[in-house]
Amino acid sequence: MLPSAMHSSETRQDAARLTFPAGFGWGAATSAYQIEGAAKEDGRGPSVWDVFSHEPGRVRNGDTGDVAADHYHRLGEDLDLMRDLGLTSYRFSIAWPRVLPTGRGAVNAKGLDFYQRLVDGLLKRGIAPVATLFHWDTPQALQDLGGWENRDCANWFADYAHTMFTALGDRVPTWLTLNEPKTVVDVGYTAGTHAPGKQDRQLANVVGHHLLLGHGLAVQALRGTAAKGRIGAALSLSPTYPADDTEAARRQAEIADGEENRRWLDPLFKGRYPQDWLAAQAPDAPVRTAIRDGDLAIISAQNDVLGVNYYGTTHVTGTGARVMLHPTSQATWQEISPDGLHDLLTRIKRDHGDIPLTITENGLPTTNPLKDTDRITFLRDHLTAAHRAIQDGVKLESYHLWSLLDNFEWAEGYTQRWGIVNVDFATQQRKRKASADWYRGVIAANGL
Ligand code: IFM
């Protein structure tokens, strides 16, 4: 049979095996509001997402995270599931209002205990905990004071971070401060389809700066404790390309790169906002006064690691309109391009040096409940691209697919299934999908 006539999986089987470096971390990621449930239990306070999801018309089918995947009550079972998959790393987030019900003040011992049990359970099973401090669930009590619109929120966040470093710092090797500040800015404060549901681009940019400041202050807080772990942020990044071969499209791709990538990367790693991004802000834009002397030094002070959430590429035309030149998924914002991952990882190395990288999210939603061969193809292609980046010298240390479990997909509710493990939300029964068994094999072989 000629190679061109072979089925693609046969071609792949014949291809050279891709082995990852020894000790490469094989992980999966989740976030608190998307899986935990137990929204009102054991003293947990409400977050902006509890309030938002209960407002009519905000989330598809009126779904909420009240129960989600009931992970809070099924911790042992889910930890065993991770162990059986062979995971060596697990990225989770801590619900700020579970630990501090009103965002500051007295610690809720039962809430903290849940994360103690989670971390201890991971370590007992040989799985490295990767703890995210903020995955969008701002305590509602703080939102009532302006939330991230209020500069004080950066300090409230650092105080909460300090509480977590003190409690878990002896056992957590990797901390991530923020998850995808860009999504909070673009979706929570500009499109308004995520909590807190505002549509104000000027305010959004102020929020973006305060989030970065909160990151910097949290990094400082870690350094002030005995915690030995490394710390960084998890950014959602998307390489941008001109949709056609015109000067106008190239110019727009550069502008899009400023919004998608550089406005987050440069403050963290260069201690400044990109010149072109700043110049594009109106002279009276509130973000200009939000950025105060000394902020960028705090934001850029020693990031040990960078978490990369990669879902796809961005193509723009000469008018700045986004067009999809690659396949999408049920998540119609997703432009699937594994090569884009290689471009992104090598570009980070080129622009920012050898910062240790971890892929903190990568995945797609599929409609096939158990035989998710489309997910296997996606994961295989992206891991292949990641492997190529490693061969090109990128210091990529670990990979976390999104997501371990089907979960509450924000404004889409339970209509999009991103997990390698199927969750029957009526019974909470877990069932491994084909992709879970495939990933288990990849982990066992340390490659594909
Ligand atoms: O489910 C989300 C996650 O919370 C943040 N990154 C993107 C995922 C898929 O939309």
Tell me if 13 is assigned to some domain: no
365 CA: nearest ligand 1 atom: 9
Range of the domain at 252: 21-445
So what's the pLDDT on residue 294? 98
Is 361 noted as a catalytic residue in this protein?
Answer: yes
pLDDT in tens, 272-324: 999 999 999 999 999 999 999 999 999 999 899 999 999 999 999 999 999 99
So what's the pLDDT on residue 10? 36
Q: Which of 36, 259, 260, 361 is catalytic?
A: 361
Cα Rg for the chain, rounded, in angstroms?
A: 21
For residue 172, give Cα distances in angstroms to 39, 129, 137, 281, 332: 25, 6, 21, 39, 35
Return d(Cα 342, Cα 238) in angstroms, integer. 11
Question: How many Cα atoms occupy the beta-carbon half-sphere of 8 within 13 Å?
Answer: 6
Mean pLDDT taken over the chain: 96
Structural domains in the chain (count): 1
So what's the pLDDT on residue 88? 99
Tell me if 15 is assigned to some domain: no
Query: Would you give the DSSP letter of residue 408?
Result: -
Return d(Cα 76, Cα 43) in angstroms, integer. 21
For ligand 1, is residue 329 a contact (CB within 6 Å)?
A: no
For ligand 1, is residue 361 a contact (CB within 6 Å)?
A: yes
347 pLDDT exceeds 60? yes
236 CA: nearest ligand 1 atom: 6
447 pLDDT exceeds 50? yes
Query: Would you give the DSSP letter of residue 395?
Result: -
So what's the pLDDT on residue 16? 53
For ligand 1, is residue 309 a contact (CB within 6 Å)?
A: yes
So what's the pLDDT on residue 14? 42
Contacts of 41 (CB under 8 A, 6+ apart): 72
Is 10 noted as a catalytic residue in this protein?
Answer: no
pTM over 0.85: yes
Tell me if 7 is assigned to some domain: no
Q: Quick one: CA torsion of 14, 20, 25, 28, rounded to 10 degrees?
A: -30
Tell me if 300 is assigned to some domain: yes
Q: Whose CA is nearest to atom 9 of ligand 1?
A: 409
409 CA: nearest ligand 1 atom: 1
1 pLDDT exceeds 80? no
Residue type, 307: G
CATH at 157: 3.20.20.80
Tell me if 376 is assigned to some domain: yes
66 pLDDT exceeds 90? yes
Tell me if 4 is assigned to some domain: no
Query: Would you give the DSSP letter of residue 147?
Result: G
Tell me if 11 is assigned to some domain: no
For ligand 1, is residue 180 a contact (CB within 6 Å)?
A: yes
Tell me if 9 is assigned to some domain: no
Return d(Cα 63, Cα 151) in angstroms, integer. 32
So what's the pLDDT on residue 5? 33
pLDDT in tens, 365-378: 999 999 999 999 99
366 Cα–ligand 1 center, Å: 14
Q: Is 165 left (phi over 0), alpha (psi -120 to 50) or beta?
A: alpha
pLDDT in tens, 182-220: 999 999 999 999 999 999 999 999 999 999 999 999 999
402 Cα–ligand 1 center, Å: 7
13 Cα–ligand 1 center, Å: 31
Mutate to test the pocket of ligand 1, among 49, 53, 183 (most ligand atoms within 8 A of CB): 183
402 CA: nearest ligand 1 atom: 8
Tell me the average pLDDT across 346-370: 98
Q: Could you tell me the strand order of the sheet in which 322-323 lies?
A: 240-242, 314-316, 322-323
pLDDT in tens, 229-247: 999 999 999 999 999 999 9
134 pLDDT band, cuts 50/70/90, is very high
Convert 422-434 to b/e letters by CB count within 10 Å (16 or more is b).
bbebeebebebbb
Q: Whose CA is nearest to atom 10 of ligand 1?
A: 409
Q: Which of 180, 259, 335, 412 is catalytic?
A: 180
What does the chain come to in residues? 448
So what's the pLDDT on residue 12? 46
For ligand 1, is residue 402 a contact (CB within 6 Å)?
A: yes
State how far Cα 219 lies from the chain centre.
Answer: 18
